Chain A
Amino acid sequence: DQQVKQNSPSLSVQEGRISILNCDYTNSMFDYFLWYKKYPAEGPTFLISISSIKDKNEDGRFTVFLNKSAKHLSLHIVPSQPGDSAVYFCAASTGYSSASKIIFGSGTRLSIRP
């Protein structure tokens, strides 16, 4: 049972336009969400996170939106650049206790075309 789902395995966006990556979750107890970016032959890199008490968090070109009622979050990249081509993983966790673990989605491969 996948608690964190990224239903689009791949996405192609033109350079300079907005990239929107989506993620759905089923566990209403999740209260902290993260996005990671992964290049080939490297480990994932933390990108941005959001707590469930917020509905938006912005960091430069990256903005994460959280819609708790829909159990949906999205990552917006504006403007998209060639270096953004990578696999993006959405992740979620419950609580702030040390017993919490992070559940990852299966990833979306983003390709930025010139």
Chain B
Amino acid sequence: KAGVTQTPRYLIKTRGQQVTLSCSPISGHRSVSWYQQTPGQGLQFLFEYFSETQRNKGNFPGRFSGRQFSNSRSEMNVSTLELGDSALYLCASSLGDRGARGLYEQYFGPGTRLTVT
């Protein structure tokens, strides 16, 4: 079974620009979550999509948005980039159904390293 894929793997943008990151979940997984990882901060939850609907949201500004398509693929968009947005952005997929294993046992992609200059 193919794993979670993320594109692009690396991205360099300048302040004020916007960026779109893409994530393809494991086949059959309906939930896609996005995380931001910065040094010393661990993984910060951005949002989760399930069946094309945002089901859960973390404490990030409205510049961070996402969507999910009918094939469960997801995109994340960051507008008006700031230097502090430089991070590794990770996408994770799970079955998404009720029950601990379906909800919480997530499979992560390799991430997109975003650098804002």
Q: Is the CB of A46 within 8 A of B42?
A: no
B88 to chain A, nearest CB (A): 9
The interface on chain B, measured as residues whose beta carbon lies within 8 A of the other chain's beta carbons, has a size of 31
A59 to chain B, nearest CB (A): 13
Chain A, interface size: which category?
20 to 34
Q: Is B56 an interface residue (CB 8 A)?
A: yes
Q: Tell me whether A49 and B100 are in contact in the complex, defined as CB-CB below 8 angstroms, given that A34-B105, A101-B56 are known contacts.
A: yes
Interface pick from A12-20, A63-71, A77-85, A102-110 = A102-110
Q: Is the CB of B42 within 8 A of A49?
A: no
Residue ID in chain A nearest B42 by CB atoms = A106
Residue ID in chain A nearest B44 by CB atoms = A104
Given A91-B43, A102-B106: 4 more A-B contacts, CB < 8 Å: A9-B40, A32-B104, A34-B104, A43-B90
